[in-house]
Amino acid sequence: MPTRFPWGAAAFANNAIDKLEIPVGTKMASTAFSNQIVTMDVTTDDDGNIAFGELLPNLVAVTNNDGSRPLTAEEDLQVTVVNGGLAAENNQLTGLSSSVEFATATVNIALKNAAEIGGYSIRPLTLNIENDAYTGSNTGGNTDNGGGSTGGGSTTTPEPAPTPETTPDVTPIVPISSDPVIKKVKHPYKIYAKRAMRLHKTVELNQPLQSFKKQARTKAKTFTVLGVSYSKGGAKRYRVAGGYVTANPSYVANLYYQSNTKRIRVISTKGINQYKTAKLTGKVRTTKRNQVLKVKRLIKTGKATRYQLTNGNYVSANKQLVIWK
């Protein structure tokens, strides 16, 4: 918008603006961008905290000759917790219990330099939180507990996903002796452990071979699914190298995203490479952790998937490398 036209009081207030480019020199009222209403999906760090940097709106001042500059930084945020049991301290949200896997919280955000950008504020900011510090709960009565401890089980909320993920086509094979019927997958694919679980010798998950602790998604145990089988009670199991694991979606999920999104954030500590082709050949550059990338479409290559970015490059859609923003 030309700078000679001022932006009046509450001109863009009570919207859902989290990205804004403002021409340098624009005149605006002190309440032009007040009280934005925004919902955001976030993932905690390994300690269950959320850095204020994860909550930053993308506010940019633009000029005609030298590009743009950000108008906000992590230290500019003034965060007030409305509900959700969190605390705002040391430039991060804290206080999420390790027994909680998914949570919702509401905060209000004001900016120290708000006068420069028309009183921009977010009231409220609703956070849908995935807790990477989740270690499980000792309450509830889940009967398919991944072959973990024999205590009271646990109650969890399944991983939220706007588009359900698909399971690869399977074809039956003839059982050998008294072994369970296994439907062998045409193309083996990978899953990862979302919480503590065990690998078992039998499809009934009553002979544990190895235990795996709950870890952050970037470090979680992965398995290659070779087939699908069912217990005597009808519970679905995955046949993996060395034995069986539960197929309960509270415990495992496909390692690769199976549907499209608009933005992804890099979560790998080593960053992620961008490539010229969907086969991930011809490295272009490395994108550092916490950087956000804009997505054009999802590409399937066998059972692995890639995201083509709006710049034309390709990155892996591995959930241990990126997360939906």
**DSSP class per residue in 244-259:** EEE--TTTEEESB--S
- The percentage of residues in the chain with a pLDDT greater than 90, rounded to a whole number, is 40
pLDDT reported for residue 194 = 92
Average pLDDT of span 165-188 = 56
Nearest to 272 by CA among 312, 318, 303: 318
Nearest to 223 by CA among 198, 257, 201: 198
CA distance 25 to 4: 9
Nearest to 84 by CA among 33, 136, 48: 48
CA distance 132 to 218: 9
pLDDT in tens, 59-85: 887 776 656 677 777 778 899 998 888
Contacts of 90 (CB under 8 A, 6+ apart): none
pLDDT in tens, 210-228: 999 988 899 999 999 999 9
- Residue, of 59 and 180, whose pLDDT is higher: 59
CA distance 224 to 186: 13
pTM: predicted TM-score of the whole model, two decimal places: 0.50
Contacts of 296 (CB under 8 A, 6+ apart): 307, 308, 309, 310
Out of 54-63, 124-133, 154-163, 302-311, least confident range: 154-163
- Residue, of 315 and 169, whose pLDDT is higher: 315
31 phi and psi, to 5 degrees? -125, 20
- State yes or no: pLDDT of 308 exceeds 60: yes
Nearest to 110 by CA among 34, 53, 182, 12: 34
- Residue, of 135 and 241, whose pLDDT is higher: 241
Q: The tokens 């390709």 sit on which residue?
A: 314
At 199, the pLDDT band (50, 70, 90 cuts) reads very high
